[in-house]
Structure 1
Amino acid sequence: MRQILLLVALCTAALLPKQGAAQSFPVEIDHIYGSARIEARPERVVSLSFIGHDFLLSLGVVPVALRKWYGPHAFGVWPWAQEALGSGTPVVMQGEIDIEAIAALEPDLIVGQWSGMTRREYALLSQIAPTVAPAPGAGDYSISWQQMLLRLGEATGHATTAQSIIARLDQRLADLRAAHPEWQGATGIMVWAGTTGAYTGHDIRGKFLGDLGFVIPPAIQQRSSLDLAYFKVPDEDLSPIDADVLIWLDSGASVDRLNRLPLRRFMRANLEGREIYSDLMLSAALSHSSPLSISYALDRLVPLLEQAMDGDPATEVTSSRTAGILTGGPADDS
């Protein structure tokens, strides 16, 4: 009997997917400029994406070089990804893509989703190492976090890990949608407070709201395209961003501007207390929308969304009140 049970167990194990099984190479990944053929699991990855290093770190891949976006943190890595960086010391690049500097790093893979890479830059980079440019049909900055992670997982030999991360986060998002039916189909928008710049449903921030069940206001979505995931709303007409919930993203210096913004006091989002102020850290987490930053963002944002969407204008959105962003009534003239 014991031998029979052991045989059954062995047969069952053989039928189950092998978690963490080695991924076979070569792999080919299509992109807007053609296809990248990666012959073997890469050891020296250069990330040209403004947010891609977050995704690589979530897969356990520490790039030899990364492109810093913004922020005061070492190596351009924000706190939610510091543990994944560990003792890694990647070369930090900033600004334009430097072909010669990248060649000197001797990479065996270059990844450039969310990078603004031009065709000419791709032609030069692909002579150095296999280069993964933005995905077909997604635009430079319009890829979803799930698709971006899957592509990086396949390119680096961590496809199974990528799928597991996506399944876990997608389940958390599904649970949040189920727990908040009032969010489903409500309009929501993220707006950069420094310029009143709205992010559309093609942008990673708009997609994040979509994952929670919100929809982009029609006036914004009608103006968007794969090549226009963000555009400035004129201060004299804020109606396109007057959504059921309005999230102001800030770099830490726009509170005074918001309180002086013409016509903001007449917006329904303001009068009904449906504005959420997102400070530097939360704004950065939402702007990266990586597997490592999403959990942090949800922990902080969900309680604020619940306050904004409870149907009671008297309920204060704590982040907005703490920052001095006046909601739930006309702003002072002082």
Structure 2
Amino acid sequence: MTINQNLFSSLHSLLKMQMYKAIHLFLVGVLIFATASGCSGNISDSTTNRHSPALSNSPPTSTRVVEHAMGKTNVPVNPQRVVAIEPCSLDHALALGVKPVGTSHHYMKRLHSDETVEGIEDTGHPVDLEKVLALKPDLILGNAWAADETIYDLLSQIAPTVIVEDKNGSEWQESLAVYADALGKGDAAKKIVEAYYTRLEEFKAQMGERLQNTKVSAIAIYPTGFDLYPESTYIGSILKDAGLPRPPSQSQFSSESNRQLHGLSKEHIPDLDGDILLILNVNSPDTQEALKQLREEPLWSQLKAVQEDRVYGMELYSMSCGPIAVNSVIDDLFKYLV
């Protein structure tokens, strides 16, 4: 009888949480609609694009159509108040020379200097729609992992919203092109990509014959297991463009099979090895705790990279997905390999 009562209590609590979440989203939607109606008066019935902004508290501006992961959206030609709802879109915007008025402060200061992000308001993690609304943006940028269709529809009632879908960060150049289109920064995006390949060519030249003989393993470690990062991931795509070979454990997986490389147990420690071992997000408490545990494992001490003292830590940027983080990764490649 006690088990049934506990089960009923747990289910009841879960249902209450789901109900409160649904009510919150409903109330936020009502608030957005009410604010939009009050600011803009009547929304023209001729508007056929459901992603057109409902808010219009400023004089009409010229717009153009931008295609993105959620469809097509009319965006202002020269947006002045941009909100980036997660770290990746923030990275892209800053790289393109646009400082958003709001973003999620979650991880923000670990990816960028205080001076760079000074004055950017916090929009919460996950995104807080009321905070976004209060900033009165004229353009919202984001990644699909931070905005499902329900959140996207609500954001679109606040301002034109452009979403990219790059869940593992390997398509950062495609995301950059979309954001650049939305921000009117196409020329800046081309220069960023050109500079990226120029730096990698310089790296290859300095590596010389060592390039093809240096297998690089990229991993994340946790107290509960390990993740491996093949070519179809963010850092994997950079290592591939740099011409660096990967260990067999990380060179034979497509994006569809990446899940096979997550949450690996201690028995897979040999799969972590390479001539160089890069540990992502090394300064996090979880990573430090995991390193402490690994050093007590006999299999860890047998790794070639460990024996040759070629294990290097990379900061959180190594798990990001924008041009600024990309260049930080390349900085480390020069530092550790050249």
TM-score by length of 2: 0.69
Other-structure match for 1:118: 148
Other-structure match for 2:317: 285
Give the one of 30, 35, 40 matched to 2:68: 30
DSSP 3-state at the match of 2:265: coil
Deviating more after overlay: 214-223 vs 101-110: 214-223
CA contact (8 A) 2:164 2:178 kept: no
> Post-superposition shift, 1:153?
1.4
Give the one of 161, 166, 175 matched to 1:131: 161
What CA distance in whole angstroms lies between the structure 1 residues aligned with 2:183 and 2:88?
Answer: 16
Query: For residues 208 and 83 of structure 1, do their structure 2 counterparts lie closer, same or farther at Cα, with a shift above 3 Å needed?
Result: farther
Q: Amino acid of the residue matched to residue 273 of structure 2?
A: D
Give the one of 32, 47, 53 matched to 2:84: 47
Other-structure match for 2:266: 235
What CA distance in whole angstroms lies between the structure 1 residues aligned with 2:114 and 2:144?
Answer: 21
Give the one of 240, 246, 249 matched to 1:210: 240
Unaligned stretches of 5+ residues in structure 1 = 1-23, 71-75, 307-334
TM-score by length of 1: 0.70
Query: For residues 227 and 83 of structure 1, do their structure 2 counterparts lie closer, same or farther at Cα, with a shift above 3 Å needed?
Result: farther
Q: Is 1:246 aligned to 2:277, yes or no?
A: yes
CA contact (8 A) 2:278 2:311 kept: yes
Q: Deviations over 1:45-97 (max 9, x none)?
A: 11112232122112221111111332xxxxx2347555544xx4111133222
Query: For residues 38 and 224 of structure 1, do their structure 2 counterparts lie closer, same or farther at Cα, with a shift above 3 Å needed?
Result: same
Query: For residues 83 and 101 of structure 1, do their structure 2 counterparts lie closer, same or farther at Cα, with a shift above 3 Å needed?
Result: closer
Unaligned stretches of 5+ residues in structure 2 = 1-61
Other-structure match for 1:166: 193
Q: Amino acid of the residue matched to residue 188 of structure 1?
A: V
Other-structure match for 2:6: none
Instruction: Count residues in correspondence.
Output: 268
What CA distance in whole angstroms lies between the structure 1 residues aligned with 2:325 and 2:253?
Answer: 28
Give the one of 102, 120, 142 matched to 2:169: 142
Query: For residues 125 and 79 of structure 1, do their structure 2 counterparts lie closer, same or farther at Cα, with a shift above 3 Å needed?
Result: closer
What CA distance in whole angstroms lies between the structure 2 residues aligned with 1:131 and 1:146?
Answer: 19
> Post-superposition shift, 1:147?
2.4
Q: Amino acid of the residue matched to residue 133 of structure 2?
A: A
Other-structure match for 1:201: 231
DSSP 3-state at the match of 2:182: helix
> Post-superposition shift, 1:252?
4.6
Other-structure match for 1:3: none
DSSP 3-state at the match of 2:262: strand
CA contact (8 A) 1:142 1:204 kept: yes
CA contact (8 A) 1:141 1:203 kept: yes
DSSP 3-state at the match of 1:27: strand
Other-structure match for 1:271: 307
DSSP 3-state at the match of 2:295: helix
Q: Deviations over 1:156-204 (max 9, x none)?
A: 1111111112212220112212332422475322211334222232221
What CA distance in whole angstroms lies between the structure 2 residues aligned with 1:251 and 1:207?
Answer: 23
DSSP 3-state at the match of 1:97: coil
Q: Deviations over 1:270-309 (max 9, x none)?
A: 2344x3221xxx4123233533344444334323124xxx
* Higher relative helix content: 2
Give the one of 186, 189, 196 matched to 2:217: 189
CA contact (8 A) 1:189 1:206 kept: no
Q: Amino acid of the residue matched to residue 220 of structure 2?
A: W
> Post-superposition shift, 1:155?
1.0
What percentage of aligned pairs have identical amino acids? Answer: 26
CA contact (8 A) 1:50 1:115 kept: no
What CA distance in whole angstroms lies between the structure 2 residues aligned with 1:244 and 1:101?
Answer: 47
What CA distance in whole angstroms lies between the structure 2 residues aligned with 1:277 and 1:114?
Answer: 31
Q: How does 1:3-22 map to 2 (within 5 A)?
A: none
Other-structure match for 1:62: 99
What CA distance in whole angstroms lies between the structure 1 residues aligned with 2:311 and 2:110?
Answer: 22
Q: Amino acid of the residue matched to residue 67 of structure 2?
A: I
